[in-house]
Amino acid sequence: MSESDSDHDRAVELRAQIRAHNEAYHGRDVPTVPDSTYDELLRQLEEIETRRPDLTTADSPTRSVGNAPSELFSAVEHRVPMMSLDNAMNLDELNAWHERIIKSFGENETYGFVCELKFDGLAVSLRYENGDLVQAATRGNGRIGEDVTLNVKTINDIPHRLENAPAVLEVRGEVYLSISRFEELNTEQIDKGDPTYANPRNTAAGSLRQKDPSVTAARQLSFWCYQLGEVVGGPELQSSEQTFELLERLGLPVNPEVEEFSDFTEVWRFCESWMVNRHTPDYEIDGVVVKVADLAQREILGSTSRAPRWAIAFKFPPEETTTRLTAIRVSIGRTGRATPFAVLEPVFVGGSTVGMATLHNEDQVSAKDVRPGDTVIVRKAGDVIPEVVGPVLAERPTTSMQWVFPTVCPSCEENLERSEGDANTYCINRRCPARIETGISHFASRNALDIEGLGERTVGLLVEEGLVEDAGDLFALTKEQLLTVLVSDVTNETLVNNLLTAIDQARECLLPNLLIGLGVEHLGPSTAELLARRFGDIETISTAEITEIAAIDGIGPVIAQSVKDFFSDAHHRAVVDKLRTNGVRLDLVEGEVDLPQILAGRSVVVTGSLDGWFTTRDEAKQAIVARGGKSPGSVSKSTYALVVGADAGQTKLDKATDLGVPTLGEAGLRQLLATGQLP
Ligand code: IVH
């Protein structure tokens, strides 16, 4: 086959592939390949067509943008075409664009360059006539788009009426979904057991192209404007700055991160700085758009059939790529939740190498239909956990089989359970080594008790040797035990000593950290703090009524229920008992404890020694005083109750009986502290 034939064949193949991706991306809002792969195909086609102009066709995707409008919406012809942008994949390509501009005007001309963020959403054109929003259209193929007026009118950022506007004003910009809203929507999807949305861009596109505007409204889309289309009347505009001023004055949302430079090195700096900080905004950006600022210069530079010559998109490195999914495994968390995850052929994406990605739960695996052996699209944006977006179906091996969720726990081999209406599957074996390990690692982690030297590996060894079954056991570990278990691992005895010191220091832990460490579901640092301040110690929290917990400002019924459920569980109570026995403080709260003064005006005498909930009599007295009560040393007729510990003196008991003062054991005291009432 001659070279010209192979160029021809390759061009035909590339056009077919690009058209198929266009259809999927713009028409159905589902990605088939990452953007970077799409861009690469387009570049290859451009390269062939530039080298071999005889091979270009009038309908080549290099000459148009996007995709033909769908039948769902009526067609809108753009009076000024909506163009795409050429890309610069690195600073060299950006410089090449700069060189071309200089060449067009000569060295002596002065230029201003506006740098704007490149929003990753979908372009729409808003048409205002005499100030009224009369039409909104998608880009479509650049010439003909889709009428999405009703849907666009549900976007809060977009005014329906502009005051003192030109007779006709077409405003172009990007409809997008904020990252926080995207995450909220996905949490809702997971809770409902529905498939998650792939990324904010596709979700925004899918949300805008709905037949029912109330669906669009519920998604809560946003908008940034960056460009004008047809304009009739209004002030004479000469620069980008004046354009943005006008848009802003009319009440349209203009992104604040726009900067203008005359020195091109400043343009590089802007691009590089945003590449590093691309995840700081609450919306996705995939590059920087650099534009010639002067509108007359833009006019002179003009456009190709696809994109203006006066602008270029400096693209950031992709955060999506493809790799092979070699296996799907299940990990067991501290609550026993079995989370499926993908084992991937390691791939560099979003700034780091990714070898695993979460698949959330059984329904998510089915919804995405990812299978071992699939080539999958992997996405890693900033610090977020890497995600499998979906399979590249075209590359699925014919022998592939659907993955089935395991029936037994991979760690303890007991049966896994999934109850009806719950998207999650659980290992319910409390003694499951994986559960114990993750539970203890969580307990020792930075946000909880922050026990230095107690990483996952050490915890694994301790669990394997049967030395710890729950967090309470950590505080009974001896140096000898640690040396025998860790000796091959930790050659240095001082490391064992350090670990013991760290464990000892953790005895003085703050109550909110302890609550987090124990793993009360739904409790975060601030809600744990609220609970600690309101109740003061773990005993009181564990006996508090749901209504009392829910009455705390900032704590809702879900957390209240979760706290109640947690402490109703005998296993959790046993762990707390063990912590207490092993000398861990359960009542340390920083700052003012804001306990309800339920014992105000009451005097409660404590006698004998206490060794259950309260390690000393003093602790019991403090708890009474902290609730507004008094705890004098002797019984009188004004005594509200007498708490009787072990080996209590007979005198106080007799006196209480004489005066009719009720006597309580330790359980009674706990109830009194929690409710202010006698049992
Ligand atoms: S100006 C005639 N400015 O990127 C050029 N486009 O890849 C009009 N985009 O079609 C585009 N942020 O949908 C411009 N600040 C920005 C942009 C931006 C995102 C989108 C727009 C365009 C696409 C090209």
In the chain, the domains with their CATH numbers are 6-64 (1.10.287.610), 87-315 (3.30.470.30), 320-417 (2.40.50.140), 433-507 (1.10.150.20), 511-582 (1.10.150.20), 603-675 (3.40.50.10190)
Report d(CA 379, CA 385) in Å as an integer: 9
Sequence-distant (6+) residues with CB within 8 A of 89 are: 39, 315
Q: What is the pLDDT of residue 30?
A: 59
Q: Collapsing DSSP states into helix, strand and coil, what is residue 47?
A: helix
How distant is the alpha carbon of residue 314 from its chain centre?
26
For tokens 């330790």, name the residue: 666
Note the pLDDT of residue 367: 87
Report the distance separating Cα 356 and Cα 385, nearest Å: 9
Confirm or reject: Cβ of 170 under 6 Å from ligand 1. no
Helix (H, G, I), strand (E, B) or coil at 474: helix
CA of 97 to the centre of ligand 1 (A): 17
End-to-end C-alpha distance for the chain, whole angstroms: 96
Res 447 pLDDT > 90: no
Q: Is the CB of 114 under 6 A from ligand 1?
A: no
Tokens 């002596």 correspond to 108
Mean pLDDT calculated for residue range 237-252: 97
Pairing of strands 122-129, 168-176: antiparallel
Contact 155, 112 (CB under 8 A): no
Q: Whose CA is nearest to atom 2 of ligand 1?
A: 83
Q: Whose CA is nearest to atom 22 of ligand 1?
A: 84
- Establish whether residue 311 lines the binding site of ligand 1, counting it when its CB lies within 6 angstroms of any ligand atom: yes
Q: Are strands 311-315 and 87-88 parallel, antiparallel or unpaired?
A: parallel
Which of 261, 225, 256 has its CA nearest to residue 243? 225
Choose one of 226, 252, 310, 312 to mutate for the ligand 1 pocket test, by most ligand atoms within 8 angstroms of C-beta: 226
Find the helix packing angle between 433-444 and 511-518, rounded to 10°: 160
Query: What pLDDT is stored for residue 373 in this prediction?
Result: 95
The distance from CA 334 to its chain's CA centroid, rounded to whole angstroms, is 20
- Pick from 59, 79, 55: nearest CA to 68: 59
CB of 261 within 6 A of ligand 1: the answer is no
The two tokens of residue 286 are: 């995939």
Whether 118 is a known active-site residue: answer yes
Which atom number of ligand 1 is nearest to the Cα of residue 307? 2
Q: Rounded to the nearest 10 degrees, what angle do helices 433-444 and 456-464 cross at? A: 140
Q: At what angle do helices 511-518 and 570-581 cross, to 10 degrees?
A: 140
Nearest ligand 1 atom, CA 123: 13
Which strands sit side by side in the sheet containing 168-176, from one edge to the other? Answer: 132-138, 122-129, 168-176, 222-232
Among 22-26, 99-103, 607-611, 675-679, name the one with the lowest average pLDDT.
22-26
| pLDDT number for residue 464 | 93
Task: In whole angstroms, give the CA distance from residue 299 to residue 278.
Answer: 31
CA of 85 relative to ligand 1 center, distance in Å: 6
627 lines ligand 1 (CB under 6 A): no
For 616-634, letters b (16+ CB in 10 Å) and e give: ebebbbbbbebbebbbeee
The closest residue, in CA terms, to atom 7 on ligand 1 is 85
Report whether residue 635 contacts ligand 1, using a CB cutoff of 6 Å. Answer: no
Per-residue pLDDT reduced to its tens digit, 320-338? 899 999 999 999 999 999 9
Catalytic residue among 103, 118, 153, 380: 118
Nearest partner of 439 among 539, 361, 336, 508, judged by Cα: 336
Given a cut of 50, whether residue 512 has pLDDT beyond it is yes
Q: Return all residues near 308 (Cβ < 8 A) that are at least 6 apart.
A: 83, 85, 298, 301, 302
Please give the backbone phi and psi of residue 389, each rounded to the nearest 5 degrees, phi first: -75, -45
The three-class DSSP label of residue 621 is helix
Any atom of ligand 1 within 6 Å of the Cβ of 87: no
Ligand 1 geometric centre to CA of 312 (Å): 9
Compute, in angstroms, the gap from residue 284 CA to the centroid of ligand 1.
13
Residue 316 identity:
F
73 lines ligand 1 (CB under 6 A): no
Cα 253 to Cα 6: distance, rounded to the nearest angstrom: 49
Distance CA 313, CA 334 (A): 46
Task: Give percent above pLDDT 90 in the chain.
Answer: 62
Name the pLDDT band for 621 (thresholds 50, 70, 90): confident
Q: What is the mean pLDDT of residues 82-94?
A: 94
User: In the prediction, which pLDDT does 56 show?
Assistant: 80
How much distance in Å is there from the Cα of 84 to the middle of ligand 1? Answer: 7
**Residue-by-residue DSSP string for 645-668:** -BT--HHHHHHHHHHT--EE-HHH
- pLDDT confidence bin for 615, thresholds 50/70/90: low
Report how far apart, in Å, the C-alpha atoms of 243 and of each of 101, 172, 295, 300 are. 22, 12, 9, 18
For the ranges 5-14, 74-83, 147-156, which has the lowest average pLDDT?
5-14
Residue 429: what are its φ and ψ, rounded to 5°? -80, 110
Whether 194 has a pLDDT exceeding 90, the answer reads no
Which of 240-244, 367-371, 592-596 comes out lowest in average pLDDT? 592-596
- The separation between CA 621 and the C-alpha centre of its own chain, rounded to angstroms, equals 46
Ligand 1: atom nearest CA of 311 is 5
Sheet of 603-607, strand order: 603-607, 639-644, 663-664
Residue 531, judged by CB atoms within 10 A of its CB (0-12, 13-18, 19+), counts as: buried
Atom of ligand 1 nearest to the CA of 227: 1
Beta strands in 366-499 (DSSP E): 375-379, 387-391, 416-417, 425-427
Is the C-beta atom of 204 inside 6 A of ligand 1? no
Torsion of CA 629, 634, 637, 638, to 10 degrees: -10
Tell me the HSE value of 591 on the side-chain side, using a 13 A CA sphere: 7
Ligand 1, atom nearest to 87 Cα: 7
Asked if the model's pLDDT at residue 435 lies above 80, the reply is: yes
For residue 293, the CA-to-ligand 1 centroid distance in Å is 15
User: 186 alpha carbon to ligand 1 midpoint, in Å?
Assistant: 27
3-class state of residue 241 by DSSP: helix
**CB of 228 sitting under 6 A from ligand 1:** no
Ligand 1 mutation pick, 119, 141, 254, max ligand atoms within 8 A of CB: 119
Residue 347 CB coordination number (10 Å): 17
Q: Tell me the average pLDDT across 548-553.
A: 90
Contact predicate 432/336, CB 8 Å: yes
The fraction of the chain above a pLDDT of 70, given in percent, is 94
Exposure letters 488-500 (e unless 16+ CB within 10 A, then b): eebeeeeebeebe
Confidence tier at 1 by pLDDT (50, 70, 90): very low
Which pLDDT tens digit goes with each residue over 162-188? Answer: 999 999 999 999 999 999 999 999 988
Mean pLDDT over the full length of the chain: 90
Which residues, listed in sequence order, are joined to residue 376 by a DSSP beta bridge?
A: 323, 391
| CB 671, CB 613: distance < 8 Å | no
Q: How confident is the model at residue 157 (pLDDT cuts 50, 70, 90)?
A: very high
> CA nearest 105: which of 288, 302, 271, 308?
302
| Residue 307: predicted pLDDT | 94
Q: Is 225 in the pocket of ligand 1 (CB under 6 A)?
A: no
CA 296/CA 36 separation, integer angstroms: 33
Q: Which atom of ligand 1 is nearest to the CA of 255?
A: 15
> Which of the four pLDDT bands, split at 50, 70 and 90, describes residue 381?
confident
Q: Is 116 in the pocket of ligand 1 (CB under 6 A)?
A: yes
Cβ partners under 8 Å of residue 304, min gap 6: none
